[in-house]
Structure 1
Amino acid sequence: MLHQTGLDPRRLDLEITESDVFNENTRSLEILSQLREQGIQISIDDFGTGYSSLSRLSYFPFDKIKIDRSFVINIPEQKDDLDIVRLIISMGKSLHMRIVAEGVETEEQLASLQALGCDLVQGYLIGKPSPLR
């Protein structure tokens, strides 16, 4: 498909949820590794909501961790959520991954995430989804 469209594989980011990949299926790891070798970015989506095994996270070929909005929505007011986000960012950085926070809706959330070293954000503060043209 990449060859047919001429799309540079580095511009493609495949998002996979924890529950889709953190199972005992070694075939998933093989496929993700092959896609990454072609230059496709691999992101783990909705991180923190599934059955992730932190010890196995480093074995999967992820480029980005996308922090689920359920952790972002209550920061900076909710200290527990802020601590969880801080830990996810720290862990991701130590594994050389970029960090994306989902569901950013306020300037306070954005400022907190920037202070914690989050790389990218998504949410209504930045822009609402729009239809294809």
Structure 2
Amino acid sequence: MEITEGLLLNAEVNVTDTLRTFRDAGIAIAMDDFGTGYSSLAYLKKFELDYLKIDQSFVRNLVEGSDDKALCEAIIVMAHKLGLKVIAEGVETEQQRDLLAGYGCDYAQGWFYSKAIPAQEFEALLAAAKR
């Protein structure tokens, strides 16, 4: 399940309890668009998250020597030190994929892998891959 930083900003007890219920049911929780909102490192301690999703605004201009490179690398290292896995959003080029992999990014999503497709088409791709 993906949640935004905004949801956690004013998280009431019922939000915290609901997230805990999901976790207890074995549902992993990802903080979406990390770094674009009110990024509070306290959220990473307070809430039991499984994944951080690096927003595509950091990935879009990811090239060697850019500020985005330093930010992506720092987010990945920090997340791993906190026991979280990292998903990079908006990966569109081989260079972005390679840089993120070099930083230890766990997962990536974006048009480099596939454009968005309907659920039925995705299911057909999965079925074909099993053959």
| Both structures adopt the same fold (TM-score exceeding 0.5) | yes
- Alignment partner, residue 101 of structure 2: 114
Mean CA deviation greater in 74-83 or 43-52: 74-83
Equivalenced residues, count: 120
Q: Counterparts in 2 of 1:1-133, with a 5 A limit?
A: 14-77=1-64, 79-133=66-120
Residue in 2 that maps onto 1:7? none
Q: Matched residue of 1:58: which SS?
A: helix
C-alpha displacement of 1:35? 0.8
- Over 4 Å off, 4+ runs: none
State the 1:29 CA deviation: 1.6
Separation (CA, whole Å) in 2 of partners of 1:32 and 1:117: 27
**Aligned AA (2:62):** I
> What is the DSSP-based 3-state SS (H/G/I as helix, E as strand, rest coil) of the residue aligned with 2:119?
coil
Greater helix content? 2
Q: Which runs of 5+ in 1 are unaligned?
A: 1-13
Question: What 5-or-longer segments of structure 2 have no aligned partner?
Answer: 121-131
TM-score when normalising by structure 1? 0.85
What's the offset of the Cα at 1:26? 2.9
- Provide the TM-score with structure 2 as the length reference: 0.86
